[in-house]
Structure 1
Amino acid sequence: MLVILLLAIAACGIAAWTLYEMKNMQARLLSENGLPEVTEVVEPIAPVYVPLDTFTVSLKPGSEEYDRVLYIGLTLRVGNEEDKSRIEKYLPEVRSRLLMLFSGRSAEELSVNEGKSQLIQDIKQILSTPLDEKSGVTVTDVLFNAFILR
């Protein structure tokens, strides 16, 4: 009982010392820096999404496979409304670029996560090339709605 009592007193002493030191550190920080600065709260920007119709594409034949099909649904997250309207304006060209990109892939590439990640990077890159005399669109993320390999 005596050992338990001594341990309890020691624990209380350590807790009190820690609390005292934390208050001293807080007082020193406030005296060195003055009052803490009030930072302005920035409201998060609402994401802008562009849903695309699903694609059904014949994939490049692999070494042992001859007829593989990719069924893929995409939603693009773009930087602003201007990029969204540019994609909608040039939608046939965007779909054509994506179809060419998808048809150049094989089922072996797309069946692993690294292949899917590389596909996302390639979609971002292919859509960043200019669609008109201005610049391309800024795609911040590519979201898969459907991804079926057959």
Structure 2
Amino acid sequence: MSKKNQKASGGGKKSSLAILLMMLIAVGACALAGYTFYEMKNMKAGAKDDAPAKVKNAAPAVPVYVQMDTFTVSLKPEANDSDRVLYIGLTLRVKDAESKSLLEEYMPEVRSRLLILLAHQTATDISSDEGKTGLTEKIKETVSKPLAPNHSAVVTDVLFNAFILR
């Protein structure tokens, strides 16, 4: 019987050693999985932090301008003024080359819209800085209206090249 006890106790050592080894492998696998998860999370956070840096380092978009011929317009008369004339030169900043080509294609219509808009202004309205700012907004609205079905130019700014009020 003593041989059976020795085999049983020896066999017990082997099974406890196998269990210990399997537990170590399981703990190692969990540690490796945890480390991998931690690194993946850091990589995602790093990618989010790098995205604004890439945007900041990107070259700014080249502005697209549409040069317009100057306008000479008789302004709407006021009670105390008889005849006022506005000489104005404009450059439009547009969103993209597509807007530029659309404006160039429909330039007669754009000029007509602007002449009508400017003719409805009074000298008092546009002589102040606030009036000029309001005029730029009106010009953007007028030019941004659809020129063709489902086609409109996106005007981002109006720049004055000349502005003489007489």
Helix, strand or coil at the partner of 1:121: helix
Helix, strand or coil at the partner of 1:67: coil
Judge conservation of contact 1:55–1:99 (CA < 8 Å) in 2: yes
Question: Could you tell me how far 1:135 is from its partner in structure 2?
Answer: 2.7
**Which of 104, 110, 113 is matched with 2:126 structurally?**
110
The alignment covers a number of residue pairs equal to 118
2:70 maps to 1:57: no
Cα root mean square deviation, aligned = 1.6
Residue ranges of structure 2 left out of the alignment (5+ in a row): 1-41
Q: Taking structure 1 as the reference length, what is the TM-score of the superposition?
A: 0.75
**1:69-128 Cα distance to aligned partner (Å, 9 max, x none):** 000000000000000000000000000000000000000001111111110000111111
2:129 maps to 1:124: no
CA distance in 2, matches of 1:42, 1:63: 55
CA distance in 1, matches of 2:117, 2:87: 14
Residue ranges of structure 1 left out of the alignment (5+ in a row): 1-32
Q: Aligned letter for 2:111?
A: R
CA distance in 1, matches of 2:140, 2:58: 27
Comparing 135-144 with 36-45, greater Cα deviation is found at 36-45
Q: 1:1-150 to 2 correspondence within 5 Å? A: 37-38=49-50, 39-40=53-54, 41-150=57-166
Task: Indicate the percent of aligned positions where both proteins have the same amino acid.
Answer: 54
Whichever of the two has the greater Rg, that structure is 2
Helix, strand or coil at the partner of 1:137: coil
CA distance in 2, matches of 1:83, 1:59: 29
Comparing 71-80 with 41-50, greater Cα deviation is found at 41-50
Judge conservation of contact 1:128–1:135 (CA < 8 Å) in 2: no
